[in-house]
Amino acid sequence: MKFSLNWLKTYLDTEASADDIAAKLNAIGIEVEGLEDPAETLAGFRVAHVLTAEKHKDADKLQVLSVDTGEGEALQVVCGAPNARAGMKGVLGLPGAVVPTNGMKLRKSAIRGVESNGMMCSARELDLGDDHAGIIELPDDAPIGTSFAEYRASSPVFDVAITPNRPDCMGVYGIARDLAAAGLGTLKPLEINKTEGTFPCPVEIRIDEPEGCPAFFGRVIRGVKNGVSPQWMQDALRDAGQRPISALVDITNYLMLGLGRPAHVYDLAKLEGPVVARHAKDGEQVLALNEKSYTLEPGMTVIADDQGVHDIAGIMGGEESGVSEETTDVLLEIAYFNPEAIGVTGRKLGLASDARTRFERGVDPAFLDDGLDLLTQLILEICGGEASDIVRAGAPPLGARTVSFNPALTGNLGGVDVPEAEQRAILAKLGFMASEDWQVGVPTWRPDIEGPADLVEEVVRIYGLDKVQSAALSRVEGVARPTATQQQKVERRIRRAAAARGLNEAVTWSFIPVPEAEHFAIDSQALWLLDNPISEDMKAMRPSLLPGLLSAAKRNMDRGAQGIRLFEVGRRYLRGADGMSDERPTLAVLLAGERAPRDWAAGKSVPFDAFDAKAEALALLNQAGAPADRLQVMGEAGHQFHPGQSATLRLGPKNVLARFGTLHPRTLEAFDIEGPVMAVEIFLDAIPGKKGGQNFARPAYAPPTLQTVMRDFAFLVDTDVPAGDLLRSVKGADKANIVDARIFDDFRGAGVPEGKKSLAVEVTLQPGEKSYTEEDLKVISDKVVKAAAKQGAELRG
Bridge partners (DSSP) of residue 636 are none
Helix, strand or coil, per DSSP, at residue 622: helix
Annotated binding site for Mg(2+): 448, 454, 457-458
What whole-number distance in Å separates Cα of residue 348 and Cα of residue 164? 20
Helix, strand or coil, per DSSP, at residue 785: helix
R_g of the chain computed on alpha carbons:
38
What's the whole-number mean pLDDT along residues 759-778? 92
pLDDT at 131 over 80: no
Q: In the chain, what are the domain boundaries?
A: 2-37+156-187, 40-151, 205-394, 401-465, 486-686, 709-795
What whole-number distance in Å separates Cα of residue 260 and Cα of residue 252? 11
What whole-number distance in Å separates Cα of residue 137 and Cα of residue 16? 33
Least confident of 253-262, 432-441, 580-589: 580-589
With a threshold of 0.75, does the pTM exceed it?
no
Instruction: Specify whether the CB–CB gap between 133 and 124 falls below 8 A.
Output: no
Instruction: Express each pLDDT in 775-797 by its tens digit.
Output: 999 999 999 999 999 889 999 87
Kind of pairing between the strands at 386-387 and 401-404: unpaired
Split at pLDDT 50, 70, 90, the class of 216 is very high
Domain 486-686: CATH class, spelled out:
alpha beta
Instruction: Express each pLDDT in 481-516 by its tens digit.
Output: 788 888 899 999 999 999 999 999 999 999 999 999
What whole-number distance in Å separates Cα of residue 619 and Cα of residue 631? 12
Instruction: Express each pLDDT in 319-353 by its tens digit.
Output: 889 999 999 999 999 999 999 999 999 999 989 99
Q: Which amino acid is at 642?
A: H
What whole-number distance in Å separates Cα of residue 27 and Cα of residue 455? 17
Higher pLDDT, 691 or 281: 281
User: May I ask the CATH architecture of the domain 401-465?
Assistant: 2-Layer Sandwich (3.30)
Element (H, E) at 751: none
Bridge partners (DSSP) of residue 764 are 710, 740
Instruction: Specify whether the CB–CB gap between 575 and 586 falls below 8 A.
Output: no
User: How far is CA 388 from its chain centroid?
Assistant: 46
Q: Are the folds of 2-37+156-187 and 709-795 the same?
A: no
Burial class (CB in 10 A: 0-12, 13-18, 19+), 553: buried
Instruction: Express each pLDDT in 59-73 by its tens digit.
Output: 888 999 999 998 888
- Domain 709-795 fold: Alpha-Beta Plaits (3.30.70)
What whole-number distance in Å separates Cα of residue 497 and Cα of residue 623? 7
Q: Taking the CB of residue 414, how many other CB atoms lie within 10 A of it?
A: 19
Split at pLDDT 50, 70, 90, the class of 154 is confident
Instruction: Express each pLDDT in 669-694 by its tens digit.
Output: 999 998 899 999 999 999 987 665 45
The pLDDT assigned to 693 comes to 46
Instruction: Specify whether the CB–CB gap between 98 and 104 falls below 8 A.
Output: yes
Is the CATH number 3.90.800.10 carried by domain 40-151? Answer: no
pLDDT at 591 over 60: yes
> Torsion angle, CA of 643/649/650/651, rounded to 10 degrees?
170
What whole-number distance in Å separates Cα of residue 42 and Cα of residue 749? 83
> Torsion angle, CA of 557/562/568/574, rounded to 10 degrees?
40
Is the CATH number 3.50.40.10 carried by domain 205-394? Answer: yes
DSSP-derived secondary structure letter, 556? H
What's the chain's average pLDDT? 91
Helix, strand or coil, per DSSP, at residue 679: strand
Kind of pairing between the strands at 45-55 and 63-68: antiparallel
What's the whole-number mean pLDDT along residues 303-318? 93
The pLDDT assigned to 642 comes to 94
Annotated binding site: 448, 454, 457-458
DSSP-derived secondary structure letter, 190? P
Instruction: Specify whether the CB–CB gap between 34 and 108 falls below 8 A.
Output: no
Split at pLDDT 50, 70, 90, the class of 399 is confident
What whole-number distance in Å separates Cα of residue 794 and Cα of residue 112? 94
Instruction: Specify whether the CB–CB gap between 684 and 621 falls below 8 A.
Output: no
What whole-number distance in Å separates Cα of residue 741 and Cα of residue 617? 19
What whole-number distance in Å separates Cα of residue 458 and Cα of residue 449? 9
Instruction: Express each pLDDT in 366-388 by its tens digit.
Output: 999 999 999 999 999 999 999 99
Helix, strand or coil, per DSSP, at residue 354: helix
The pLDDT assigned to 524 comes to 60
Kind of pairing between the strands at 316-317 and 109-111: unpaired
pLDDT at 186 over 90: yes
User: Hey, which CATH number is domain 2-37+156-187, 3.40.50.11290, 3.30.56.10, 3.30.465.10, 3.10.310.40?
Assistant: 3.30.56.10
pLDDT at 91 over 90: yes
pLDDT at 274 over 90: yes
Instruction: Specify whether the CB–CB gap between 314 and 301 falls below 8 A.
Output: yes
Q: What are phi and psi of 40, to 5 degrees?
A: -70, -35
